[in-house]
Amino acid sequence: MDLHQNARLTWRSRETLANKIMSEKLTLKAAAAAFNVSRKTAAKWLRRYRILGLPGLRDRSSRPLRSPRRTSTELIAQVLILRRQLRPAYQIAQATHISPAGLLPRVQRLDRS
């Protein structure tokens, strides 16, 4: 399992935390102190456990579910065409009105496809 590098709890200890609160009637504050996390974090894991069960205790991706300002596929296709013509980034940026700093990440997504 890939554990987030800054995670205080593994998914097993998250399960133990939730079970202590539910079965042993431990308060959120006491459970949080026992597991060395904040009350808010303890409440988050308890809520996820109640709603989703064990799968809810796994780490989630930080990738957003949607990106409303995402660059259009037509514009990315235009950038790819200009890249294949071996144009420098500043020329591509001028032609497409995209910041040169933003060109690389946008295009790399589609280059891998």
Residue ranges per structural domain of the chain: 11-57, 73-111
C-alpha–C-alpha distance, residues 83 and 107, integer Å: 9
Chain centroid to CA 24: how far? 33
Question: What is the predicted pLDDT for the residue at 91?
Answer: 92
Q: Identify whether the C-beta of residue 93 lies closer than 8 Å to the C-beta of residue 99.
A: yes
Question: What is the predicted pLDDT for the residue at 109?
Answer: 57
* Burial annotation 59-70 (CB, 10 A radius, 16+ → b, else e): eeeeeeeeeeee
The string of pLDDT tens digits covering residues 57-98 is: 888 888 888 888 888 889 889 988 998 999 988 899 999 998
HSE of 99 in the Cβ direction (CA atoms, 13 Å)? 3
- Between 53 and 8, the higher pLDDT residue: 53
Q: What is the pLDDT confidence band of residue 43, given thresholds at 50, 70 and 90? A: very high
What's the pTM value of the predicted model, to 2 decimals?
0.56
